A = this chain, B = another copy of it.
Amino acid sequence: MENALRRFEFYDKLREPEKKLIRDNALKKELARGQIMIGGSSRCNGVPMVLKGSLRLFRVSDKGREVTLYRIREGEMCVIAAVCLRGDHDYDFSIEAEEDCSLLILTPDMFKTLFNASSAFKTYVFNMLAQKLIMSMETIEMLTFISIEERVIEYLKQNADKNGEIRTTHEKMAVDLGTSREVITRQLGRMAERDMLCVERGKIILKKVT
């Protein structure tokens, strides 16, 4: 566990009592891929640190549509959980494991102790909040400035394997790109007509995308 904890840039800067607090007292939790951690009937009562795997934070609309807000990767902490647990803010999000995950959960008290005792921890939390704020603002820009065709092309390029194949569903693309399944299906149809790609079951094959 010590090695996994070293991925958190604050860890080596903590004093031994604070390191021990995390190692000995944080709750260990394993999640299987696809498992919902927060959302629906599951509630969060601590701040998750991702030792292995990745979490996806998302929101569900009244009509049941989903949007991915951001991901929490190895060496990252879910700072928005810290924010909500302090009770100053109320924000109802969902989190699922996008891969198999190993987590450590800090209780609100442990978070508070570390936040007050360590300036390295405080700086980490400040940076993590700042980073997610900037990422969110970049998402706003993308949704505002970039056409759905440009977004789909970017997504396909980023997710293609070396043969130019992307294993995904229209539903998943819609959630990641902040639009509806219908819009994705229509857009892929148009691109297929222009011979840019080929849509198969559970798979998209890129042909001419520049």
What residues make up the interface of A, taking CB atoms closer than 8 Å to B?
59, 61-63, 65, 67, 69, 79-80, 83, 88-89, 91, 93, 116, 119, 122, 125-127, 129-134, 136-137, 139-141, 143-145, 178-179
Contact status B145-A89, CB under 8 Å:
no
Cβ of A81 to closest chain B Cβ, rounded Å: 11
How many copies of the shown chain assemble into the complex?
A: 2
Q: What residues of B have a CB within 8 angstroms of the CB of A141 in the complex? A: 59, 61, 67
Report the separation of the CA atoms of residues A130 and B61 in the bound assembly, to the nearest whole angstrom.
21
Report the separation of the CA atoms of residues A139 and B178 in the bound assembly, to the nearest whole angstrom.
12
Report the separation of the CA atoms of residues A93 and B134 in the bound assembly, to the nearest whole angstrom.
10
Contact status A116-B119, CB under 8 Å:
yes
Q: Select the residue from A93, A127, A141, A178 with max chain B CB neighbours within 10 A.
A: A141
Contact status B137-A69, CB under 8 Å:
yes
Contact status A126-B129, CB under 8 Å:
yes
Contact status B178-A83, CB under 8 Å:
no
Other CB < 8 Å A-B pairs besides A62-B145, A129-B130, 15 of them?
A63-B145, A67-B140, A67-B141, A67-B145, A83-B126, A89-B134, A122-B122, A126-B126, A126-B129, A129-B133, A132-B133, A133-B136, A136-B136, A140-B140, A143-B143
Q: What residues of B have a CB within 8 angstroms of the CB of A130 in the complex? A: 79-80, 83, 88-89, 129
Q: What residues of B have a CB within 8 angstroms of the CB of A61 in the complex? A: 141, 144-145
Q: What residues of B have a CB within 8 angstroms of the CB of A127 in the complex? A: 88-89
